[in-house]
């Protein structure tokens, strides 16, 4: 549970209640789509507006506080920006799990980037498959 107020102010944003509960919802589950955020928040704060969630997600991305995670066949999810990691994406439940980069992954990609004279900004590695929970569920 981060100090969202400080985080927001450091980016020149006002620390509003709505922003903090959006961030809290995302951090709580790790990865959430716009609609998921709205569904969750409506239960506790029925007056929250979908437009506000959209505006904040856009703004928080521009400030680098949130990162978009685009997913094949689904709506993008959003996560709190953090050091690079791999996503395991379940094609059944849509769940996303973070995992650290394997140690040698840098060296593996470096020759390709150098050869292409590509100014790398960000790596995005996603492994799609069926998570352990969904495998168990489908066996029973």
**Residues of the shown chain interacting with a second copy in the complex, contacts defined by CB under 8 A:** 68, 70-73, 76, 86, 88, 91, 97, 99, 102, 104-105, 108-109, 111-113, 116-132, 135
13 binds, among a second copy, DNA, none (CB under 5 to 8 A by kind): DNA
Neighbours of 126 (CB within 10 A): 13
| Residue 21 interface partner, choices DNA, a second copy, none, CB cut-off 5-8 Å depending on type | none
Residue 107 tokens read as 């060296």
In sequence order, the 6+-apart residues with CB closer than 8 A to the CB of 71 are 77, 89, 94, 96, 126
Out of 3, 10, 16, 93, point to the residue binding DNA (CB under 7 A).
16
In contact, 33 and 77? CB cutoff 8 Å: yes
Taking the complex as a whole, the smallest distance from the CB of residue 32 to a second copy amounts, in Å, to 16
Indicate the burial class of 36 (C-beta count within 10 angstroms; 0-12, 13-18, 19 or more): middle
User: Cβ closer to a second copy: 21 or 89?
Assistant: 89
Q: How many residues bind DNA (CB under 7 A)?
A: 25
CB under 5 to 8 A by kind: which of DNA, a second copy, none does 80 bind? Answer: none
Given a contact cutoff of 8 angstroms between Cβ atoms, the answer to whether 67 and 61 are in contact is yes
Residues 68-87 that bind DNA (CB under 7 A): 75
């Amino acid at each position: 549970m981060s100090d969202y107020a400080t985080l927001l102010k450091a980016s020149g944003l006002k620390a509003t209640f709505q922003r903090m509960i959006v961030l809290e919802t995302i951090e709580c589950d790790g990865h959430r789509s716009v609609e998921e955020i709205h569904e969750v928040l409506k239960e506790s704060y029925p007056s929250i507006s979908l437009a506000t969630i959209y505006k904040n997600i856009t703004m928080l991305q521009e400030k680098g506080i949130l990162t978009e995670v685009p997913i094949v066949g689904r709506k993008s999810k959003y996560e709190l920006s953090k050091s690079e990691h791999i996503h395991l994406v379940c094609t059944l439940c849509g769940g996303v799990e973070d995992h650290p980069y394997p140690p040698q992954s840098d060296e593996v990609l470096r020759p390709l980037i150098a050869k292409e004279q590509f100014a790398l900004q960000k790596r995005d590695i996603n492994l799609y498959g069926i998570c352990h929970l969904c495998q168990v569920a489908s066996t029973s």
